[in-house]
Chain A
Amino acid sequence: MSLENTKAQMRKGVLEYCILSILQEGDAYSSAIINKLKESELIVVEGTLYPLLTRQKNAGLLSYRWEESTQGPPRKYYSLTDEGREALDELDKSWKALVDAVASLRNEK
C-alpha cells in the first residue's frame, strides 16, 4: 500500500509543473488539460485537477476567460500568465536539478 502511496505522491508532485507545461503549448479548456494528463498517465481520476487549477489561478500563474458554447453553459478557457511563464522556467531548472541528482545517486552503485 505504501509503495502505491509513494508513487501517487511522485505523480502529484509534478502535476502543477505539467499543467503549466501544457498551457505553454497553447490555451486550453480544463477538459483538454485533463485529457492530456490522462494520456500521459499522470492522473487516473479527474478530481485532483480542479483544486490545483484554482490554486494556480489564485497564485496568478494562470488566468481564464469564459468561452460561450452552443452545447451548454460557458466554459473556462485557461492561459498562462507572465508569472506563470516565469514559474515554468523556474520549475524547468528545478526539475533538471532533481533529475540530475537522482541519476547521480542511482549511478553510485
Chain B
Amino acid sequence: MKKTCTANINGVVFNIDEDAYQLLNDYLKSVRKQFDNESEPGDVMQDIEDRIAELLRDRMSSPYAVVTINDVRYVISVMGNPSDFSENPDQYVKSQHRKLYRNPDDKVLGGVCSGLGVYFNMESWIVRVLFIIFVAVGGAGGLIYLILWLVVPEALTSSQKLEMQGKPVTLDNLINSAKAEFNNLKDRVKRR
C-alpha cells in the first residue's frame, strides 16, 4: 500500500503516488533550471506541464486512477532529458575543469547529491536515488553522505558556483550567474 497525494499539473488534478510525485517534482525542477537564462521561463514551463498533464490524462484509465512512478517515468522518457532542452553550450564543458562543491541552490539536506550531480553532469535526483539505494542496502551510504557533507565545501560565492560548473570565471559568466540567481529569487518570492 502506498501513500498518495493530489497534484495540480497546469490546472488538471491528479491522484499521484508520493514517490511518483517526488520524481516528477525533481524532474520539473531540473527542467526549470534549464531556462534560467531565458526571458520568459514561466511560459515554457506552462507548456511543458500542459503537455505532461495531457500525456498522463491519456494514460489514465479513469479520473480516479492513480499516477504511478512508472507513469512518471514514461512521461520523462517522452519529454526527454532536461539538458537537451535549452541551447546552453553547457553540455560541452569538460568535467576535468570542474571542482566538487556542495550546491546550495538545489539542496534537500546539504547539497551533497546536487554537488555530485553537477560535477559528474548528472541530474541531482539520480544521485539522490543512488544514495537512497546505498543507504537501503547497507547503511554505508548514510556515512558516506555525512563525510561528504563535512568535507566538501559549499559553493557560496558566484565564482565558486562557476568553478563548480566548470565554467571559466569571466565577467560575462559572473553577470549571467547573477542574473540566473535573481530570476530564482524572483520566483521564490512570487510563490509566496
A-B pairs under 8 A by CB, number: 63
Q: Which of A58-101 contact B (CB under 8 A)?
A: 58, 71-73, 75-76
Chain A residues with CB under 8 A of B40: 54, 58
Give the size of the chain B interface in residues (CB under 8 angstroms).
29
Q: Are B80 and A31 in contact (CB under 8 A)?
A: no
A44 to B81, CA, bound (A): 11
Q: Are A45 and B81 in contact (CB under 8 A)?
A: yes
A51 to B44, CA, bound (A): 6
7 smallest CB-CB distances across A and B, nearest first, come from: A45-B80, A47-B80, A50-B47, A47-B79, A47-B85, A54-B43, A54-B44
Chain A residues with CB under 8 A of B50: 73, 75
Q: In the complex where A54-B47, A73-B10, A75-B50 touch, is A48 in contact with B39 (Cβ < 8 A)?
A: no
Q: Is B84 an interface residue (CB 8 A)?
A: yes
Give the size of the chain A interface in residues (CB under 8 angstroms).
22
A37-52: CB near B (< 8 Å → 1, else 0) gives 0000000111110110
Chain B residue with the shortest CB-CB distance to A51: B44
Q: Are A73 and B11 in contact (CB under 8 A)?
A: yes
Given contacts A5-B91, A30-B47, 7 further A-B contacts (CB under 8 A): A45-B77, A45-B78, A48-B84, A50-B44, A58-B40, A73-B10, A73-B12
Using a CB–CB distance below 8 Å, which chain A residues touch chain B?
5, 8, 12, 30-31, 44-48, 50-51, 53-55, 57-58, 71-73, 75-76
Q: Which of B63-93 contact A (CB under 8 A)?
A: 77-82, 84-87, 91
B33-47: CB near A (< 8 Å → 1, else 0) gives 011001110011001
Chain B residues with CB under 8 A of A8: 84
A8 to B82, CA, bound (A): 15
Q: Are A76 and B47 in contact (CB under 8 A)?
A: yes
